[in-house]
Amino acid sequence: MVMPLEDGGLRLGRVAVRHFEPSGVFIVAPEGVDAKPYVDAVNEYVRLLALPSEVHLVQVSNVSLDDAVRAVRGGLEDAAGGRLATVDFAILEGASAWLTTVLLYTATVVRSVRWNGLTLGSLAYVNASGLTIRLRKPGRYPIKLNLRTYRVLRIVARSGSEGALARDVHAALARQYGDEVSRQFVTNMLALLIRKGLVKRVSEGPNPTYHATSIGKILAG
């Protein structure tokens, strides 16, 4: 279960933990905020309920939505360790609008991308009275990717500020995934990702450099 840091101590988070009875709790907090007292309170409450829950803290950017979503999703993937995992989200009244936005975008990405083992479970809104309201799942991004195209996107998205050349992507596919494809195949996939608005070409010439767009970074994780 993923939930935001609350102001003023653990109140509605207790309701969310009781509602979902999760095997793991991910607390999303802004960078630079001391969230340890809240994490400790969640740990104590989980033990009180005798739940087999590990409590994780994910601190996210205050300014970059794609970085924040990638941080939450990365934490979920790392905890899953390659296993299939169903992820629930708790939206808490009174939590910051920024953290709520990050959680809702992350839920949309989890539902949209099926290649990383994460599946969207349910969303619940906990109001100030402690009432839990089940929410409809968010829609999927209207962009369909097969596994190979997703891998190409992820390699470009993780190439850093320098970007990636087609030959870098070609080599990474073989090195990281054992996927032996032609250089032309990679070039075609990059062109497809550009048409979908997920990748952009930032230099011209025979060996152009590619960067992921903002939405490309969010979907790639």
Amino acid at 160: G
Q: How far is CA 59 from the centre of its chain?
A: 12
* HSE of 15, CA atoms in CB hemisphere, 13 A: 19
Identical fold at 2-135 and 147-220? no
User: What pLDDT, on a 0 to 100 scale, did the predictor assign at position 179?
Assistant: 87
Q: Decide: helix, strand or coil at residue 50.
A: coil
- With b for 16 or more beta-carbon neighbours within 10 A and e for fewer, the 183-194 pattern comes to eeebeebbebbe
- Kindly state the average pLDDT of the residues 74-81: 92
Res. 8: pLDDT tops 90:
no
Query: Whole-prediction pTM value?
Result: 0.87
User: What pLDDT, on a 0 to 100 scale, did the predictor assign at position 46?
Assistant: 95
List the alpha helices (DSSP H) in the chain: 12-20, 36-48, 65-80, 97-112, 147-157, 166-177, 183-195, 214-220
User: What pLDDT, on a 0 to 100 scale, did the predictor assign at position 104?
Assistant: 96
Res. 121: pLDDT tops 90:
yes
CATH of 147-220, one of 3.40.50.2300, 1.10.3720.10, 1.10.10.10, 3.20.20.80: 1.10.10.10
pLDDT digits (tens, 9 = 90+) for 123-151: 999 999 989 999 999 999 888 888 899 99
**Domain extents for the chain?**
2-135, 147-220
CB atoms inside a 10 Å sphere around CB 44: 11
Q: How far is CA 133 from the centre of its chain?
A: 23
Tokens 């992507």 belong to residue? 169
CATH of 2-135, one of 3.30.2010, 3.40.50, 3.90.550, 3.50.50: 3.40.50
- Kindly state the average pLDDT of the residues 146-173: 92
Which DSSP helix (H) or strand (E) runs through 89? strand 85-92
pLDDT digits (tens, 9 = 90+) for 169-194: 999 999 999 988 999 999 999 999 99
Res. 114: pLDDT tops 90:
no
Nearest to 214 by CA among 114, 109, 79: 109
| Confidence band for 2, pLDDT divided at 50, 70 and 90 | very high
Res. 25: pLDDT tops 90:
yes
- Kindly state the average pLDDT of the residues 111-119: 88
Res. 42: pLDDT tops 90:
yes
- Determine the Cα–Cα distance for residues 173 and 188; give it in Å rounded to an integer: 14
| Confidence band for 22, pLDDT divided at 50, 70 and 90 | very high
